[in-house]
Amino acid sequence: MGSITGIVVIIIGILASVALHEVGHMLPAKKFGVLVPDYAVGFGPALWKKKIGDTTYALRAILVGGYVKIVGMYAPARPGTRLVGRRGKVTLAQEAREASAEEIPQGQEHRAFYLLSAPKKITVMLCGPLMNLLICFVLSAVTMVGIGAPAASRTIASVSATIQTSEGEIASPAYEAGVRPGDTVLAWNGTPIETFAQFQRAVGATPEGESAVLTVGRDGTTVDLTVTPVTGARGARYVGVTAGYEYVSASLTDVLQADWQMFTGTASVIVRLPQAVWQVGRSVVTDEQRDATGVVSVVGVGRMAGEVTGDSAALGLRDTRQVVGALLSLLASLNMALFVFNLIPLPPLDGGHILGAVYEGVRRQVASLRGKEDPGPADTARLVPLTWAVGGVLIVMSFILIVADIVKPISLS
């Protein structure tokens, strides 16, 4: 496989992840009766589109993401709200309210998003990130349970003719004893051997100069061979064989533990994201080394995928099965990053909308408990200036990471 293969796979994987993220928003919104007029993969001119029910589904030319249009995101201004700024211009918040109102077709006003209860709003906004979490779990399960991890097997892959010791090069004990590639280690001095690691420990525990009976499986029969381990140049005990490998599947419990570790690791990176991006930017304009475990953009992820398929041997990936597992692991970690990142409680991220819905729910509940009039939907349009500010910061951070991944990329090797 060449580098292009990995890059193409990761691009398709990212598009699918974003598309399913938007599906996560769309399905509960439609379930709750909200009007969802558009769902698209990509931006720009439509290559294909079809209207089903109220929603037009489209595949667009610029495949850099996707979106779902949910009408009526912002509630109308409450009486007494300032609609015009100091210079006589309509405020950004009011512009957002008006644009939101214009999206709603006549006679469909009851299907606006802002009319949903707070729990339903939270559900709609949370299901997008939860879709990425689900994708992460599925990919992790396929990788760890379906593909498995390579582990040394009891089958002998090769037998060295000689071994280097502190006294020089000598004949390999296994070679002299008649061990052959393809033999399966069954027992050492009568003790059954279940793993190659157990075999290594048994060899290491054999006293200097003593021989042992190695029982191997060969062509459907068992063969007993007398082997005398020697001490290699590094002080360890050897017989001169190399293990083959086999794939061992993990349990779903292992998958959950691995995903939890991925979550906590990703969350710790997100918490210090501004500092991490600053360090990346500084490394670009100075001779400072870039942190090999630091943050990367989608360009960096693509480069890593290219390494996986283009230089798999240098990364210690033995076969196509391991390469596929590595690519799926990259996509799993990317989806975990999308899950955690989108939960940041700032607009325009999903976490910002969730926080607004939580505020609305708490405010309405407090008013109910105090016997006061329902205050109605929260005026989240007032956060539009913050939305623009956060969006600008995210664009700058993305630009820094993309430039860094081009001029000073992180290499898996």
To 10 degrees, the CA torsion angle through 90, 382, 126, 130?
70
Instruction: Output the average pLDDT for the chain.
Output: 92
Task: Output the DSSP codes for 168-212.
Answer: EEEE-HHHHHT--TT-EEEEETTEE--SHHHHHHHHHHSPTT--E
| Separation CA 58–CA 52 (nearest Å) | 11
Q: Taking the mean position of all CA atoms in its chain, how far away is CA 152?
A: 27
22 labelled catalytic: yes
Residue 72, exposed/middle/buried by CB under 10 A (0-12, 13-18, 19+)?
buried
DSSP 165: E
Domains of the chain and CATH, by start: 116-148+250-412 (no CATH), 150-248 (2.30.42.10)
Give the integer Cα–Cα distance in Å for 257 and 326: 18
Give the pLDDT confidence score for residue 209 in this predicted structure. Answer: 85
Query: Taking the model in full, what pTM does it have?
Result: 0.86
Structure confidence at residue 282 (pLDDT): 92
Work out the number of other CB atoms within 10 angstroms of the CB of residue 412.
Answer: 15
pLDDT score at 169:
85
In the numeric block, the tokens 């990471």 are attached to 401
Q: What is the pLDDT of residue 402?
A: 94
Query: Residues 40, 29: contact at Cβ < 8 Å?
Result: no
CA angle 108, 109, 111 (to 5 degrees): 70
What pLDDT was estimated at residue 188? 95
What integer pLDDT is reported at residue 164 of this predicted model? 83
Tell me what pLDDT residue 1 has.
Answer: 60
Residue segments in the chain with a per-residue pLDDT below the cut of 50: none
